Amino acid sequence: METTLRGVGVSHGVAIGEVRHMGTAVLEPPAKQIPAEEAEREQGRARQAVEAVAADLIARGNLAGGEAQHVLEAQAMMAQDPELMADVERRIAVGSTAERGVYDAFASYRALLAGAGEYLAGRVADLDDVRNRIVARLLGVPMPGVPDSDEPYVLIARDLAPADTALLDPALVLGFVTEEGGPTSHSAILARALGVPAVVALPGAGELAEGTLIAVDGSTGEIFVEPSDAKRAELESAAAARKAALTAATGPGATSDGHKVPLLANVGGPGDVPAAVEAGAEGVGLFRTEFLFLDDSKQAPSEEKQIAAYRAVLEAFPEGRVVVRVLDAGADKPLDFLTPADEPNPALGVRGLRSLLDHPDVLRTQLTALSKAAEGLPVHLEVMAPMVADRADAKAFADACREAGLNAKFGAMVEIPSAALRARSVLQEVEFLSLGTNDLAQYTFAADRQVGAVSRLQDPWQPALLDLVALSAEAAKAEGKSCGVCGEAASDPLLACVLTGLGVTSLSMGAASIPYVRATLAKYTLAQCERAASAARAADSAEEARRAAQAVLSGE
């Protein structure tokens, strides 16, 4: 009998197939004692396993490329963390086996992450995956991960580690569903990059029996268990219509009456550029430069290394707009040379622009590298600061840009509610705003963006969040300046129409979402988008806002 479940849709498309479950996590190894004379051998085994797993993660990253590569390289660094390895060796020295020493050391570090104001909870899944891989290697059992299958299937998991998500084969994995995670988790971001339909934060997903036929709608978050022939036909028809619309819609982003809405790409480095170009991105709305810095958490990359990476992206968009976010370190992206080690709540501490203003040499080097990278290129370079709280922050960043001789527009990200509430004040110092809706939602609702249990508050359809977007857009219009969105909200085609109706002047998203947003925008006039925006803001919940906007745009 057909039943319907609802999670959080994070990657567009429809997948219909049989359930296959992610491989079981590694069992806890026995806590047996070893003789003292075996400690050195066991320590050697542990080191070898750690190095092998780190090498495997790096190799997977090289195969995946793009943003996935940076995520997996960060996981490899996690595996090789010297303090963690020292703890493993201490435990082995007092009698633990290699596998038990690894298990207990990671458990201790896991507890620290989970207790760090919960902002670092998003890294716990990554840490668990690294531990499971090391322990599996030591025990000589198969690695946990994606099941073997010759037939296409829908993957079900408690959560998906980046190492698994990055190498999913879209020819076999039709879509995936997880019990945990949120719309801005690593798995969700990588799913969108792969173009695989995905639903997260669905409690009880693990109870779906192996081989059960399900239909996954990654746009609505609905899961249809044992769908009827009529429901399958309906979903397949809708998917075919969507695909036809994608093919038909080409060129710059615009509403049906010609109101231009530039569609830009979010990239993490040169590896993400080919997909952005293929999708028809009109430029880059968010170049996340922190991945370049995460290659070595002990020191900043040289000016020469930065110039090469920046120029590779800038050259891909001649005459296009490239918006670069300077280093956003801290919270879940700590850097030893930049980030305080003892902050009780890193998400509310010294992160983003605050870190850079405390280390002006790092900011100066990055701005100088960006200036040199753009020399001789026809690109329209824009540089923005993360975590701007007020006019004083905006002025400090603008002053730093001018002192570095940067020939570019400089702007501020709106991720803190105070910046949205005082947007006109901030715009006295900078030339544009860019809304990071992921963090803006997190700080507006006090809801960690990585925790599935509060994912409803991370929903970008929340009317309070739309109010803050509207305030920012209205302030920018009054000042004759631009206000874009570069958070994950822009990747939702329906919400893209609402954002346009709120006055947002550009939308930036993962490359895979650009065709969907382009096709949807092209169906509606600016006036329809404005009416949908008003209806959404008048609602009292995210679900009501979504329904209200849909009703307006469908003419109900």
Other C-beta atoms closer than 10 Å to the C-beta of 336 total 10
Active-site residue among 186, 401, 483, 529?
186
Residue 12 vs residues 24, 126, 168, 390, 490: alpha-carbon distances, Å = 27, 24, 16, 36, 13
Distance CA 101, CA 104 (A): 5
186 among known catalytic residues: yes
Distance CA 487, CA 437 (A): 5
Strands (E), 61-167: 153-157
DSSP annotation of 513: G
- Nearest-CA neighbor of 365 among 425, 300, 437, 440? 300
Please name every residue paired with 506 in a beta bridge, in sequence order, or none if there are none: 484
Distance CA 159, CA 163 (A): 12
Distance CA 380, CA 257 (A): 27
Positive or negative, the CA dihedral 183, 189, 193, 195 is: negative
Burial 304-324 (b: 16+ CB within 10 A, else e): eebbebbbebbebbeebbbbb
DSSP string, 315-349: TTSTTSEEEEEPP--BTTB--TTTS-S--S-GGGS
Active-site residue among 12, 359, 483, 486?
486
Please name every residue paired with 224 in a beta bridge, in sequence order, or none if there are none: 4, 215
Tokens of residue 488, six digits? 């994950």
**Do residues 371 and 401 make contact, with C-beta atoms less than 8 angstroms apart?**
no
Tokens of residue 386, six digits? 């993360």
- Coil, strand, or helix at residue 540? coil
Tokens of residue 406, six digits? 């940067």
**Angle CA 413–515–164, to nearest 5:** 75
What is the number of helices (H) and of strands (E) in the chain? 22, 16
- Coil, strand, or helix at residue 383? strand
> Tokens 């005459």 map to which residue?
319
Q: Which is it for strands 432-435 and 380-385: parallel, antiparallel or unpaired? A: unpaired
Distance CA 263, CA 547 (A): 24
486 among known catalytic residues: yes
Q: Which residues are catalytic?
A: 186, 486
